[in-house]
Amino acid sequence: MEQQAVFIQVGALADGFAPDNNTLPACSELAGRSFQLLDAAGAACTLSFAADGSLTLHDAGSDINAPCRVTSLRNSLYFVDCLPPVPAASSLSLVLDLARGLYTRVDGQLPDEAATRLDPFRRVAQGLELTAVNTRISHGTVDHAANPGEELHHATRELIGMRNQYRYSRTECYEHIYLNDNFYAWQCLQGVEQGLADVDRCHYIKLAEQLYLFVWREKIIPTLGVVLIDLARGKTDGKIVGYQGGDFGVLSNFAVGASAQVLNTTRHALD
């Protein structure tokens, strides 16, 4: 009898993705530079990059200083990722679109052990989402106040209906089906999660033509994914974060990148 595939912790997933992978190299183009980020309401914060590979984000409510990773999937467009020291088990990812003077910010929060162990039946009964991973996604401008009618990065439905294949390494390959505004289906075709599949909560942001930010929040193993999808280039870049093991003591935050292929697109007659 074929053995049933089992879900694994994010730390084990990172180990599987590590060898011979398709991640982008880190870049140092932002070192020594500072930017003012203004959100849609006009609130400002200052983002600075040090030569040692760390960032500082200062706003009226808090300061974040942490090592970061910066990559560039397109010219003048950067993905910035770090783990803030506080609160515990939090994540910060930014897309800096310097050619257009725009940014998108993704603040993530993994659940603690008690929230993770709350079963789906009780979550539904309490009116909670099935996933205990939380995010806050915001958009704004870089080094200028938004002009009247200026279009920021924004939610999109352009990926819905696509069935895409992503090869992360020689051994790791996944399929995504973008179902609707709130959910996508995934399955592992090859790799450490081979045979596993699920439907999870997600968010789609359009950054430019054929360039998207895809954010997902898994419900079984607490996992947050933040990935840029460049359909023109056939490439992705981003990160996955979760707990290293089952003790909720250490985070695993690792870079991911894949070659991307659109297999087909379904358009329902109801649309």
**Structure confidence by residue, pLDDT tens digits, 184-201:** 999 999 999 999 999 999
Give the pTM.
Answer: 0.96
Q: Kind of pairing, strands 63-74 and 54-58?
A: antiparallel
CA distances from 28 to 33, 71, 72 (A): 10, 8, 10
CB distance 91 to 79 below 8 Å: no
- What single letter denotes the amino acid at residue 149? G
78 DSSP β-pair partners:
96
Question: What is d(CA 240, CA 222) in angstroms, rounded to the nearest whole number?
Answer: 11
How many other CB atoms are there within 10 angstroms of residue 57's CB atom? 21
pLDDT digits (tens, 9 = 90+) for 75-108: 999 999 999 999 999 999 999 999 999 999 999 9
User: Virtual CA dihedral for 120, 125, 131, 137, nearest 10 degrees?
Assistant: 170
Report pLDDT for 271: 57
Structure tokens at 119: 């079963």
Report pLDDT for 37: 97
Question: What is d(CA 175, CA 52) in angstroms, rounded to the nearest whole number?
Answer: 37
Report pLDDT for 57: 97
Q: Kind of pairing, strands 102-109 and 173-178?
A: unpaired
Q: Which residues of the chain have pLDDT under 50?
A: 1
Report pLDDT for 120: 94
CB distance 183 to 200 below 8 Å: yes
